[in-house]
């Protein structure tokens, strides 16, 4: 497996794709063909999805007294940007690995989470402000690195790749939030797993926004430097305020993402 990983890294370094694959740490050191990657453009809701899937897997394994928290999240849902090529522990029947990477040919099984670009831009802007970014909202959205064109390129790189060998399950974040029971049940059916409804309902309860906020508050209380409000809208500039102040920026998002919006958000 180490030789396979080294070969993949060499291929990735020399790859010539339409998207940027300059990051050599796209995989754990011990990749498996059956690994399932949770892929999103940043701030599309993968933390919520990871809480749900992690809690379902714990319950399926009979670990009723364990649940996902902000402290242990990466132990159960490893992130390729954090493990940076280190081996991962496979603790359940399915291994879910988080990634923000654009298209790479080595993610064979993946769940792609898409979110409406207006909400993504607002959430990502607030996140980067907490990280110290000094930029106006219009400049952020127009940025080639963070903004709407980056979102379009990321989404297109995955949804327009038509390889029949790749298994992609696309989920809209909005659907997951509105009806998690239905969309999680269908996801697991697609994975070939019949999960009892009671387990999915318990996982949903354990992953509710308020429970996630409480987990983050506990994490913040005992972390000497963590000051973020990752969950919820506390301390963040609201979507309505930003688009009221910068209406042309909303138009830019709609114009740049027009084709993808028609395809995935025809109701908007």
**CATH number, domain containing residue 204:** 3.40.50.300
Residues 6+ apart with CB under 8 A from 50: 38, 68, 73, 76, 77, 96, 98
* Helical ranges in the chain per DSSP H: 2-13, 46-60, 73-76, 80-83, 117-130, 137-142, 148-159, 173-178, 180-190, 197-206, 209-222, 239-245, 247-256, 258-264
pLDDT value of residue 1:
46
* Residue 97, token pair as written in the block: 């690995």
Residue 162 CB neighbours (<10 A): 6
Q: In what order do the strands lie in the sheet with 167-172?
A: 96-99, 36-40, 109-114, 167-172
- Residue 193 tokens read as 């797993």
Give me the number of domains the chain comprises.
1
pLDDT for 113 equals 99
pLDDT recorded at residue 229: 82
Tell me the three state secondary structure of residue 189.
helix
What is the residue range of 246's domain?
2-264
Cα 215 to Cα 209: distance, rounded to the nearest angstrom = 10
Report residue 90: phi and psi, to 5°: -100, 105
**CA atoms of 70 and 220, how far apart (whole Å):** 9
pLDDT at 13: 45
Residue 171, pLDDT score: 98
pLDDT of 162: 63
DSSP-derived pairing of the beta strands 36-40 and 167-172: unpaired
Given a cut of 70, the residues of the chain with pLDDT beneath it are 1-24, 162, 164-165
Distances in Å between the Cα of 72 and the Cα atoms of 51, 54, 83, 89, 201 are: 10, 10, 14, 13, 21
Q: What is the pLDDT of residues 6-24, one digit of tens each?
A: 544 444 443 333 344 445 5
Contact 42, 100 (CB under 8 A): yes
Q: Which residues, in sequence order, are bridge partners of residue 37?
A: 97, 110
pLDDT (0 to 100) of residue 165: 67
Q: Note the pLDDT of residue 114.
A: 99
Structure tokens at 161: 């790749």
User: What are 237-253's pLDDT values in tens digits?
Assistant: 999 999 999 999 999 99
| Chain centre to alpha carbon of residue 262 | 22
CA angle 11, 15, 21 (to 5 degrees): 105
Residues 19-28 as b or e (16 or more Cβ within 10 Å = b) = bebeeebbbb
């Amino acid at each position: 497996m180490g030789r396979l990983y080294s070969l993949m890294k060499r291929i990735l370094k020399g790859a010539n794709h339409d998207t940027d694959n300059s990051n050599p740490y796209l995989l754990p050191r011990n990749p498996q063909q059956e690994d399932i990657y949770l892929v999103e453009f940043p701030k599309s809701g993968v933390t919520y999805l990871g809480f749900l899937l992690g809690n379902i897997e714990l319950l399926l394994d009979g670990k009723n007294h364990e649940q996902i928290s902000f402290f242990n999240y990466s132990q159960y849902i490893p992130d390729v940007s954090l493990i940076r090529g280190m081996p991962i522990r496979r603790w359940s029947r399915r291994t879910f690995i988080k990634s923000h990477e654009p298209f790479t040919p080595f993610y064979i099984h993946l769940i792609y989470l898409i979110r409406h670009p207006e909400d993504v831009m607002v959430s990502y802007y607030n996140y980067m402000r907490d990280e110290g970014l000094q930029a106006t909202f219009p400049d952020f959205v127009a940025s080639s690195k963070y903004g709407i064109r980056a979102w379009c390129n990321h989404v297109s790189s995955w949804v327009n790749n038509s390889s029949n060998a790749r298994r992609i399950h696309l989920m809209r974040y909005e659907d997951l939030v509105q009806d998690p029971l239905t969309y999680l049940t269908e996801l697991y059916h697609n994975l070939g797993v019949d999960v009892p409804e009671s387990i999915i309902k318990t996982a949903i309860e354990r992953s509710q926004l308020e429970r996630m906020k409480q987990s983050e508050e506990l994490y913040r209380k005992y972390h000497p430097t963590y000051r973020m409000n990752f969950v919820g809208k506390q301390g963040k500039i609201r979507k309505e305020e930003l688009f009221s102040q910068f209406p042309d920026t909303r138009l830019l998002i709609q114009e740049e993402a027009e084709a993808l919006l028609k395809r995935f958000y025809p109701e908007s």
